[in-house]
Structure 1
Amino acid sequence: MGSRESLRSWLRADPWRALLILVAAGYGIVQFAVVTPGMGLGWDETVYVSQVDPRVPAAEFIAPRARGITLLVAPVVFVTSSTEALRVYLCVLSALVLYASFRTWSRVRPGAVAPLAALLFASLWLTLFYGGQAMPNLWVAFGAVAATGWLLRCRQAGSGRGPLIGPLIGPLIGLAASVTAVALLRPPDSLWLVLALAAPLIGPAWRRGRVGAALVAGLVAGWADWIVEAFVRFGGPVARWQAAGAANETGLHFSLFEHARALNGPLLCRPPAHCGAVLLPWLLWWSAIPVLVLLGLYAARRRDAGAYVLAAAAGLLMAVPYVFLVGYAAPRFLLPTYALLAFPIAAGVVGLLERPRGRAPRCAVAGLVAAGALGQVALQGLTLDKVASRRLSRRDADVQVAQALDGLHLRRPCLVYGEHAAMIAYRAGCAAHTVLRWRSEPVVPAPVRAAQSAGRQVVAVVEGRATPPPLAAWGRTPLPEVRPGRWHAYVPR
């Protein structure tokens, strides 16, 4: 009975925390139910995971990547190469981090705003799909939410003067840790986040200096690994930054249209990938976001709107590099923006529901909110099902190809060359060289020659009926058991 009474007292003391826990639990459950834990690894995931898997060669780690995700998956991958175990681990961890990051806001903005913002963000197909994926953008979003929440707590806790003890030290550590996490995952994103967080540092000099020191400490700790690796492998930070810019096609661009085309499910809108057209339901959904944000800021104008202005400004700033400086689009790039914009939107919804009866009939308002919620669930759910089912079959084919190559007596050390090579090679225990476009000349590729000179067995994999010219003189073996697609393996004669 004592435990029941304690639970009831806890729920009565903070019912909104219980709602946030339910949102996080539901987020994890939906991932297990819809996004199958057995889904194979994608290309980027394979690169990150292979860095800490002692059973396979590490895939090429190019300049733009950072080691944050590798550190995140290391506890599981070092023990087992089971994709199912990795998916379960990431699904559970993402649900826990969702709760922890949005909880930082509920401590400074008690009420329904933080749980509702978490629900809005957790219901996106992107958030559900990437919860169990070894990709950095979702975790950057969680880090950005936590950092803004800790900054608000610093402002709240530091209302008086005095030494750095008591209520201020915890928020400062949380702020620095959140910035460090973002910098470890995607270093450039941390710069835009800190730029937004540094703007509101207007107040007593003692507090401004301490918060600024926490932001700088977070950046230094997060960037340290990237800088050290730049000296070791890329010829210094400047050379690495330039190489990263070349790989990501950075420069002055305007890719808003490409992001609009990617809303409904293409995971990457970059040639040779095909992104399709902009769909009207998604265009309406996307167009509603700035309107709802402005309405939310207006609704919160009398209740310290500064917190929601901070969230909106940080969200928009974190979208700037992906809209104006990168020449292609991927829907996951905007996950931090969606996470932060969820707060002013949630504030607007709460303010609308709390309006006095004389201004708007409660039933009409509730009906409008319910209709919006149903539209959100339907649009996001249908897209999630389409994306997950398509990726499930495609990535399962990679596993089947790797199993078929074992039947061809593939021995280590080896190189898998061709389409989907990174994912297939990881399962086969080989090195990889992925081909996006086949050359038109019948010349043995340089990576193949280098592998043969090093004594590695080489096998090329092709999805399609036509034989690529570089493989014309190779022995061809159909892989009829692999579905979907028409796969063939090629071995040098």
Structure 2
Amino acid sequence: MGSTKSLRSWLRADPWRTLLILVAVCYGIVQLAAVTPKMGVGWDEVVYVSQVDPRVPAAEFIAPRARGITLIVAPVVLITSSTDALRIYLSLLSAVALYASFGTWLRVRSGPTVPLAALLFGSLWLSLFYGSAAMPNMWVAFGAVAAVGCFVRCTRPDSGRGPLIGLAVSVAAVALLRPPDSVWLVIPLAVALAMPGWRRIGAGAALIAGLVAGWADWIIEAFVRFGGPVARWQAAGAANETGLHFSLYEHARALNGPLLCRPPAHCGPVVLPWLLWWGAIPVLVLLGLYAARRRERLAECVLPALTGLSLAVPYIFLVGYAAPRFLLPTYALLVFPIAHSALWPLEGPRGRAVRRAGAALVAAGFLAQFTLQGLTLDKVVSPRLSKRQADVEVAGALAAFTVRRPCLVYGEHAVMIAYRMGCEAHTVLSWPQDSEVPASVLAAQGAGKTVVAVDKGRSVPAPFLWAWERRRLPEVRPGTWYAYVPR
């Protein structure tokens, strides 16, 4: 009884933290209701998960990837291969991360800005879709929010050791998840340390310590597997098509749901409602900076805005393709000035009519936000439920054909199908058009492994398959799937 009373008194004493908890709980519930059920694993997820799944061969781990997300999923994957268990675990963990990362800002300044910013970010279809995904970008976003919040606290007098430790841990987490992103996170923070009133030796040391700790795993693996950091960096650049690019238009085309804008994936046109939504962001950010300046909070509003823009730079100017998840860390930081802009019409010495008009405008904005994000989330989730379920059905059908381990699955969706079967995989985005049997198939056959090729389509996709036995998989939907086995 006493503990219940103390909890109630704590909630009443800190209503904004209570509101943030409510936002995080709703974020987790919406994921569990709308995204998590029966959502199979995608290609990138299989790569990360298979590194620690003792029941399957590890998928190829190429140079650009880092081990951070593998460590996050390990506690569940080591115990069970259930995709449902993994989704539920990540949904709950992301809700906790939303609260923890945005909660650091309540120690910067208590008030409605922080829970409102968390609501804006958590309501994005991207945040809801990737919160339960074994992908690094969402977790980079959480780490970036926590890092900037801890940094602001570090630069204040008598901040103590807690913010320094939080800053170092947050930067290290981002570096462990996506090492290059940590550099773009640290750059504006390091520049801020050179500004009058922001100079703190401890904050600079925490940034360096975080980078060193987070990059250590990537550098060690570079020496072990890739011939050194320089060779790995070059291999990563080749895989990610890095160089001078301008992919803003591709990112605009990806706003409404394509998960990847990279050939051969078709991204579609720019959708007007999403273009308007995207165009409103810089306007609201500038309005938020103005509002923060009027309220003498400009410093704590400028830093997340600049850091968010910094994190967008490599994906707009240095990567030759687009994926909407790349900008998740940017959105996570820009919601702070946007939250300031949303609260500005409701505060200050204004007449009742002005306040009502401002409240109506803000309410309309939130209604439009929730509607657009919800419709897009449904558009993204619905087809992927059936497509990823097809991977499970293909795996079951192949098992019925007595495909046994050790084995290799070659062809369309091979990585996802093979993961379900405990096989090795070689996914093809474009089938070879010569009659030679691919080297990976020959190597598997030479090692005594069972080989099967899979494809969704009525025509034989490659000349070398004409000599193989063709079997239809009639129970698999959507599409018409065939399996090919050597005679």
Deviations 1:235-276 (A, max 9, x none): 000000000000000000000000000000000000000100
Structure 1's unaligned 5+ residue stretches are 161-166
1:391 aligns to what? 384
1:21 aligns to what? 21
Q: Structure 1 residues 393 and 27, CA, compared in 2 at 3 Å: closer, same or farther?
A: same
Q: State, as a whole percentage, how many aligned pairs show the same letter.
A: 74
State the distance in 1 between where 2:272 and 2:57 align. 45
Q: Which moved further from structure 2: 104-113 or 94-103?
A: 104-113
1:69 aligns to what? 69
What do you get for the CA RMSD once the two structures are aligned?
A: 1.3
Residues 1:177 and 2:169 are matched in the alignment: yes
SS of the equivalent of 1:490 reads strand
Displacement over 4 Å in runs of 4+: 203-207
Contact 2:412 2:455 (8 Å CA) reproduced: yes
Contact 2:36 2:91 (8 Å CA) reproduced: no
Residues 1:409 and 2:402 are matched in the alignment: yes
Structure 2 counterpart of 1:178, one-letter code: S
Residues 1:370 and 2:363 are matched in the alignment: yes
Residues 1:462 and 2:455 are matched in the alignment: yes
1:164 aligns to what? none
State the distance in 2 between where 1:213 and 1:205 align. 17
1:330 aligns to what? 323
Q: How does 1:220-299 map to 2 (within 5 A)?
A: 220-299=212-291
Q: Aligned-pair distance for 1:4?
A: 4.1
2:185 aligns to what? 193
Deviations 1:358-409 (A, max 9, x none): 3961111110001000000010000001101111110000000000000000
Structure 2 counterpart of 1:488, one-letter code: Y
State the distance in 2 between where 1:32 and 1:369 align. 28
Number of residue equivalences = 485
1:43 aligns to what? 43
2:474 aligns to what? 480
Contact 1:63 1:243 (8 Å CA) reproduced: yes
SS of the equivalent of 2:431 reads coil
State the distance in 2 between where 1:2 and 1:235 align. 61
Contact 1:299 1:352 (8 Å CA) reproduced: no
TM-score by length of structure 1 reads 0.97
SS of the equivalent of 2:293 reads coil
2:207 aligns to what? 215
Deviations 1:435-456 (A, max 9, x none): 0001111210111011111111
SS of the equivalent of 2:193 reads coil
Contact 2:241 2:320 (8 Å CA) reproduced: yes
Q: Which moved further from structure 2: 265-274 or 207-216?
A: 207-216
Q: Aligned-pair distance for 1:414?
A: 0.4
Deviations 1:117-172 (A, max 9, x none): 0000000000000010000000000000000000011112xx15xxxxxx421110
1:131 aligns to what? 131
SS of the equivalent of 1:416 reads strand
Q: Aligned-pair distance for 1:210?
A: 1.3
State the distance in 1 between where 2:117 and 2:229 align. 38
Structure 2's unaligned 5+ residue stretches are none
Structure 1 counterpart of 2:452, one-letter code: V
TM-score by length of structure 2 reads 0.98
Q: Aligned-pair distance for 1:206?
A: 11
Q: Aligned-pair distance for 1:9?
A: 1.8
Residues 1:357 and 2:341 are matched in the alignment: no
SS of the equivalent of 2:368 reads helix
Structure 2 counterpart of 1:97, one-letter code: A
2:393 aligns to what? 400
Structure 2 counterpart of 1:450, one-letter code: A
Q: Aligned-pair distance for 1:209?
A: 1.9
1:146 aligns to what? 146
Residues 1:53 and 2:53 are matched in the alignment: yes
State the distance in 1 between where 2:197 and 2:269 align. 52
